[in-house]
A = this chain, B = another copy of it.
């Protein structure tokens, strides 16, 4: 019979999040903000500490027989599963494509793991699968492996999709928040908060004169143009859960450099700004699914910006600020009315199940 060694899984360690603080997992632990950060640092990283996981980038950078390979995973639980501008299927493909792209990788292969609630109309599953294949074709990736699980009614919510992806990184590319230096320019690829507000509008039954659509899109083509313009791009990050504010805070923390942004340079569509006001959201914290932030050396900022604006997904790109030695690890914004304020990491739960 099997000699299966008994393993004491507690192994003398106790849970590193004090149970008096958070005895149970809260929705906010999945928000992309402070509690997510704490959960990752204390529960996941304390166990899985290793060189590849350390940088906490959107993907891991691996060495496979001398090739630099990026590997990334994301689960999608967005509700509703169909929304203006897309579906959970496109989101799942584009999201993983984007995580690889911002690592400087050329996304090549993706996997799809489906968890389906019993009773999902077959027609809806079919539409999702078709949208994934269309998205994969647009992004130039191949879906090569998959898995399907079905759980009983009431034990999931229609469908959850995990995608993982593999891409290859050229040797001359070095993308890392550690590369950020004071004086670097911060570039945003376009208008913010479209995705989050598209979802929230449907959930809240809001109607606007113009339909607000998700910006879900594959960013690998845009990234390719950017890297053709400059190999010296310090770091890129797509601004999903937690929005632009959360990405900037993560970059500031990893780089130990301060970041200063200028509110009036941040593009927000008029109708999205209006919806944010009605719903009480700050667009800086609202999720995007087709926008990225890049930090580039000041001297390369104009050439990168020009390359971005020549691509359909970067037409509205703007330089929104710069890195500074003045307030290390802190993100500060110059507001429209002239003052400055600290842009902190999202502290509660703002938009559950936005992706």
Q: Which residues of A contact B (CB under 8 A)?
A: 1-4, 7, 9-11, 13-17, 19, 22-31, 36, 39-40, 43-44, 47-48, 50, 52-53, 59-60, 62, 64-67, 69, 71-77, 79, 85, 87, 108-109, 111-123, 125-127, 129-134, 136, 138, 142-152, 154-157, 160, 162, 164, 166, 168, 190-191, 213, 215, 217, 269, 290, 312-313, 315-316, 352-353
Contact = CB atoms under 8 A, between A and B. Distances in A.
Contact of A48 (B108, B127, B146, B215): B146
A64 B217 contact: no
A190 B2 contact: yes
Closest 6 CB pairs of A and B: A30-B150, A164-B164, A73-B111, A60-B144, A15-B126, A162-B162
Nearest to A26: B118
Chain A, interface SS category: mixed
Contacts of A316: 1-2
24 contacts: A2-B312, A3-B315, A4-B85, A4-B217, A9-B127, A15-B122, A15-B125, A23-B121, A24-B119, A24-B121, A25-B121, A27-B118, A29-B150, A43-B122, A43-B125, A47-B132, A48-B129, A48-B133, A64-B108, A65-B65, A71-B109, A73-B145, A77-B115, A156-B160
A62 B122 contact: no
Contact of A116 (B16, B25, B111): B25
Give the residue among A30, A87, A121 with the most B Cβ atoms within 10 A: A30
Contact of A69 (B64, B87, B312, B352): B64
A132 B87 CA distance: 32
A53 B143 CA distance: 8
Nearest to A17: B122
A10 B160 contact: no
